[in-house]
Structure 1
Amino acid sequence: MAFSADELRVLRRALATALNPAPLQDDDVQDCLRLAESVDESVAEAGRLRAFLLADLVRYRQALPGSLTGYLELLQDALAAGYDPAADDLAALRALRHHPAAGALLARCQVLAERSVRIRLARVSQAQSPSRTLAAAPRARLLALPGGRASDDGGAGAGAGAGTPAKPAPKPPAPGERPVPKPSEAFPPRRRPVPPPPPEERVAG
C-alpha cells in the first residue's frame, strides 16, 4: 500500500496527535477521516484482487499442462501475496517437476506448506493446553483415628487373633480398700415365692 505526499502528511499529524493528545482543527479531522476511508478502500480492493488471482490460479491449474507458463507465474504472484500452497498445487508441481521452474517452485511450496502445518498444529496445541494442564487432585489417604476399630484390632490381635476386642482385666483392690461388690452381690436374685399348701392339707394339719 502506497501513500501520496498529502496522505503521508495527514498520517504524520495523526500519529503526532496520538502520541501527544491535543485538540484538532476541523480541517485536520476531515483529513484524517478521508485518509481512513482511503485505507479501507485499499484494503477492500486488495481483497478483491486476491480473490481474482486465486480464481485465475485455479483455472490455470485445471488447464495444465498446456497452461504451465501462466500457472507458474500466477502461483508466484499468489505466494508473494501471502498465499499458502494447497495440496492441489503440490500435486500439480510434482507432476511437472521435470520442468526446471516447476521443480524450483515445488521446493519453495513444500517449505511453505510445512511451515503452515506447524503453525496450525501449534495453534491447536495452545488451544488444548489448558485442558491438559489441569491435572486431577491427588486422593487424600484415609488415616485411622486413635481409639477406633484399628486400635481394637491391634490390641486383640495377639490374644484372640479373630479381631474381637478383649475385655479389660479387673484391677485388684488396693490395700485397705473395700473390693467393689459384684452385681450378683449387690442385687441378689429374688427367690420365687413358695405356693401355699392346698386347703385339704391345711385342714388335716
Structure 2
Amino acid sequence: MAFGADELRVLRRALAVALQPAPLPDEDIQDCLRLAESVDEAIEEAGRLRAFLVADLARYRAALPGSLTGYLELLQDALAAGYQPQPDDLAALRALRGNPLAAVLLDRCLCLAEQAVRARLAKRATAVAYADAIAAPGPRTRLHALPGGRVADEPKTPREPREPAAPPRPAPGGPKERPMPKPSEVFPPRRRPAAPPEKLAAG
C-alpha cells in the first residue's frame, strides 16, 4: 500500500499526536478521518484484487499444460500478495518440474506449505496446553496457623475449678431405687445332703 505526499503528512501528524497527546484543530481531525477512510478503501480493494487473482490462478491451473506461462506468472504474483499455495498448486508444479521456473516455484511453495503446517500445529498445541491449564486445578496451599491472632489479643484469665457433679436426684414422689442384689442373694449356696444315719449292729 502506497501513500501520497498529502497522506504521509497527515499520517505523520497523527503519529506525533499519538506519541504526545495534544488537542487537534478541526481541520487536522477531518484529515485524519479522511485518511482512515482511504486506508479502509485500500484494504477492501486489495481484498477484491486478491480474490480476482486467486480465481484467475484457478482457471489457468485448470487449463494446464497449455497455460503454463500464464499460470507461473500468476502464481508468482499471488505468492507475492500473501497467497498460500494449495495442494492443487503443488500437484501442478510437480507435474511441471521439468520447467526451471516451475521447479523454483515448487521449492518455494513447499517451504510455505511446511511453515503453514508448523504454525497450525503450534497454534493447536498452545490451545490444548491452555485448555489443560484451565481444566487442571492448581496445587492447594496449606493453611498455617499464624502466631497471635484474636486468641493472643484476649486477656488470659485463670480457669475456675470445676465443681464435682452432684449425684442424680430421685424422681419426685417416686419409689426409691432398689440396690443391686448380691450374687449370694440371687443364687444361694447349695446345702450338702445330710449323711444317712449308720445302722446300729444288732448285739
> Under TM normalisation by the shorter chain, which class is it?
0.5 to 0.7
Partners of 1:124 and 1:46 lie apart in 2 by 29
**Secondary structure of 2:83's match?**
coil
**Once the two structures are superposed, what CA deviation does each residue of 1:119-156 show, in whole Å capped at 9, x if it has no partner?**
01110111001244565889xxxxxxxxxxxxxxxxxx
Matches of residues 142-181 of structure 1 in structure 2 within 5 Å? none
Between Structure 1 and Structure 2, how many residues are aligned? Answer: 147
- Tell me the CA shift for residue 98 of structure 1: 1.1
**TM-score (structure 1 length as normaliser):** 0.66
Q: Aligned partners of 1:191, 1:116: CA distance in 2, in Å?
A: 102
Q: State the match for 1:62 in structure 2.
A: 62
Alignment of 1:114-125 (within 5 A): 114-125=114-125
Q: CA RMSD in A?
A: 2.2
The alpha-carbon deviation at position 25 of structure 1 amounts to: 0.7
Helix, strand or coil at the partner of 2:29: helix
1:28 — aligned with what?
28
- Displacement of 1:92 after TM fit? 0.5
Q: Structure 1 CA distance, aligned partners of 2:130 and 2:184?
A: 78
- Counterparts of residues 1-205 of structure 1 (less than 5 Å): 1-133=1-133, 186-188=182-184, 190-191=186-187
| Paired AA for residue 3 in structure 2 | F
CA distance 1:136–1:40, change in 2 (3 Å): closer
- Amino acid in the other structure paired with 2:51: A
% of aligned pairs identical?
68
Residue 48 of structure 2 aligns to a residue whose secondary structure is: helix
Q: State the distance in 2 between where 1:22 and 1:64 align.
A: 60
The Cα of 1:191 is off from its aligned counterpart by 4.5
Q: Secondary structure at the match of 2:17?
A: helix
Report the Cα offset of residue 186 of structure 1: 4.8
- Residue identity in the other structure for 1:45: E
- Residues 188 and 56 of structure 1, relative CA distance in 2, 3 Å threshold: farther
Relative to structure 1, the CA distance from residue 105 to residue 189 in structure 2 (aligned partners, 3 Å threshold; closer, same or farther) is: farther
Q: Which consecutive unaligned segments of at least 5 residues does structure 2 have?
A: 140-180, 189-203
Displacement of 1:190 in angstroms is 1.5
Residues 81-124 of structure 1 show CA distances to partners (whole Å, capped at 9, x for unaligned) of: 11111100000101111111111111111111101110011101
Assess, with a 3 A threshold, how the Cα gap between structure 1 residues 21 and 91 changes in structure 2: closer, same or farther: same
Closer/same/farther in 2, CA of residues 75 and 187 from structure 1, 3 Å limit: same
Q: CA separation in 2, counterparts of 1:118 and 1:71?
A: 27
After superposition, the C-alpha distances for 1:143-187 in whole angstroms (9 at most, x for unaligned) are xxxxxxxxxxxxxxxxxxxxxxxxxxxxxxxxxxxxxxxxxx954
Three-state SS of the structure 2 residue aligned to 1:64 is: coil
